Amino acid sequence: MKKILSILLAGAMLAGCVLTGCSDSSSSKSDSSDGNTAKVADPIEGVKATASTDKYRNYYEIFVNSFCDSNGDETGDLQGIISQLDYLNDGDPNSGDDLGVDAIWLTPIMPSKSYHKYDVEDYYNIDPDFGTLDDFDKLIEECHKRGINVILDLVLNHASSKNPLFTKAVEEVADNKLDGNAEYFEIHKASYFDSDTQTISLGNGYACEANFSQEMPEWNLNSKKTREEFTKIAKFWLDRGVDGFRLDACKYFTNKETDGTEFLKWFYDTCKGIKEDVYMVGENWTDDSDIQELYKSGIDSQFAFKFSTSTGTIISNIISQGGMATAKKIMNYDNKMAESNPNAINAMFLSNHDQVRSGNALESQGLSSQKLAAAVYMLAPGNPFIYYGEEIGVKAPNTTNDAAYRTQMVFDSENLPDIYVNGIGDEPDVPTGGGVKQQLADKDSLLNYYRRIITIKNQNPEIARGRIVGTQGFDDKTVGAYYVEYEDSKLLIIHNFSKNDAKELTITDDMIKNATLRADLIPESSSKHTELKDGKISVPPQSTVIIKSAE
C-alpha cells in the first residue's frame, strides 16, 4: 500500500520530502526559531566561533539510502541530502540554527546492484537510485557554499563482478589470455590459493580472490594497470570538487602479496598530486600495531575502532564509570599514532553503518550517559565522525541485522519517513526525544547537546588540534581528565563519569597556571553552570568542563 501511495503522490510532492517525513531546509530553520526553541547561544560569552580552514573538521556519516528521500521512491538520494544541508550547517558558525558539522562522508554512491553499493560496477558515475552527476555537482556546490567538505567512500579492495573490467577479464581467461584485463585482479591458478581463501572460479583452472563475496572480485593492487585506473578514478572525483576519500577495507590491502603501507602511500601521494589538501581516512578494524604501520604511509586518519561499538572503550567505561581509564587510553592511543605519523589526525566515533547503534547500546543507561559519550568522543583530539541520527539517539529496530543499523533518519517523529533499506521499512523506532524537529525545540535534548559541543569546539580550536601531554587523576577513578597543548595554548578537559556524584576538584597552578573556566557541558539545563572560584570547581555527574590557562 505504501509503495502505491508513494507512486501516486510523487508527482505532487514538494522538494521537502513531505511523504517521507523529510522536511526541507527552510522548514527546519523555521522550526528551530519558534518561541519554544532554545537556540544554542555561544557557550563562551563574547567569543566568536570560527570556521575550519584546515583538515580538522566535525564529520557526519550519511548512509545515503536512509537519510532523506526527495522523490517518494522510498530511497534516500542526493537531492534529499541537499534539502537538509541547512540542518547540517547553514554556513554561519554563529547562527545557532544548525547542527554545525563542517564535513560529510557519503557511503558509496556509484552504480551497484546491492543496496549498500560496496560492490562498484562503474567508478565514474552515480547510482540511479541516488540521482545523477548533475545532482552530485549541485550537492558539492551547495556544501562548499556552507563550508562543508565532502569525502566519498572509495572501494579499492574489490569491485563488482559486473564491473566491465572484470567481465572482460573473465572472457579473456576463458581464452587463456592472462596479460590483458586479468592483470587488474587477483587472478591465478586455483592451486595458488590456500583453503581459507574465498575465490570465484573462472574455469580453465583459474580463480579470482574474493574474500568478501562471490560478487566482489579483488583488485590486484600491485598491478601497474590497476594503479593507472585508480589514478583516473581519483582525478575524476577530485576534479569534480570532492575533498577526499574514506577508504574501505584498508585492513585487507595486505591480504594478498601487496605491501599495504606502500600501496597506501602511493595512493595518498597520488591524490595529493591532484589536490594538495586532500583528506583521507582509512577503515582499518584491527590491532593498534597494524594501524600504526599503515599510518607510516602518511594517510591523514584511520578510524579508532577500539573506542567504538557497544563493547568498545567509551561505552564500556561509561557503563562502568571508568573515567580515569578512558583518559589514559585516549592519551596512549593518540601518542602511539603520532609516533608513526606526527601529522596523524585520530578519527573517533561511537558507531557506524556496520555496528549496533549507540542509541541501542546506551538506551538503558539514560540520556545523560548518551550525552557524556558524545562529549568524550567529540572532544578527543582529531576528527570525530557522527553517524547520521546519532545526534538524536536513533536506534536500530534489530540489533543483529546490518540493514537495521542503517535505518531511516527521523526529521519529524510526527511525520515518519517512508524509506526502505533492504527490506527494513515501515515505521522506524522513534528516538526517545523525538525527531530533529522535536529535539530542536527541547533545550535539554541530545541534539542540542551535540550542537553545544560543536560550538565549543569552534571556539576552542586547540581541542581538535592539540596533542595530549598528560592525564590528571584527581585520585578518583571516575574522573577522566587530560591536558592538550596546541601552539601556545593549554587546556585541561575533565569528564565526570560518575552517574550520581558531583566531584569537588581543586585546580592548582601546578596543574594549569592562572586557570579559567572555558566551558561546561551539563546534562540538564536546569542545573546551574559550574564555577571555578579560588581554585575550586564542582563538576556535576556525567558532566564535562574545559579549563584553560589565562596566560
Residue 41 has a CB neighbour count (10 Å cut-off) of 11
* Closest alpha carbon to 112 in 215, 251, 227: 215
Unique residue bearing C-alpha cell 560478487: 215
Q: Is 283 a catalytic residue?
A: yes
For residue 81, the cross-strand partners are: none
Q: Tell me the C-alpha distance between 205 and 227, whole Å.
A: 27
Give me the long-range contacts of 123-132 (CB less than 8 A, separation at least 24): 123/233, 123/236, 124/233, 124/236, 126/78, 129/65, 129/73, 129/75, 129/77, 130/64, 130/75, 130/76, 130/77, 130/78, 131/77, 131/78, 131/79
Burial of 536 (0-12, 13-18, 19+ CB in 10 A): exposed
| Phi and psi at residue 133, to the nearest 5° | -65, -35
- List of residues 6+ apart from 32 with CB closer than 8 A: 39, 97, 98, 440, 441
406 φ/ψ angles, rounded to the nearest 5 degrees:
-110, 35
Choose, from 31, 102, 283, 391, the residue flagged as catalytic: 283
Comparing CA positions, the residue from 513, 501, 496 lying closest to residue 547 is: 513
DSSP character at residue 303: B
The residue ranges of DSSP E strands in 148-268, in sequence order, are 149-154, 187-189, 199-203, 206-209, 244-247
Residue 50, Cα to own-chain centre: how many angstroms? 21
Question: In terms of DSSP bridges, do strands 544-549 and 301-302 run parallel, antiparallel, or are they unpaired?
Answer: unpaired
Contacts of 125 (CB under 8 A, 6+ apart): 110, 111, 133
The whole-angstrom separation of Cα 437 and Cα 65 is: 21
| Other CB atoms within 10 A of residue 67 CB | 28
Is residue 384 within 8 A of residue 377, CB to CB? The reply is yes
**Catalytic residue selected from 127, 243, 248, 520:** 248
What are the angstrom distances between the C-alpha of 364 and each of 253, 317, 325, 427? 39, 15, 22, 22
**Among 261, 208, 235, 60, which Cα is nearest to 143's?**
60
Distance of CA 133 to CAs 123, 125, 172, 329, Å?
A: 12, 7, 32, 43
Coil, helix or strand at residue 208: strand
**b/e string for 91-121 if b means 16 or more Cβ within 10 A?**
bebebbbbbbbbbbbbbbbbbbebbbbbbbb
Residues forming the active site: 248, 283
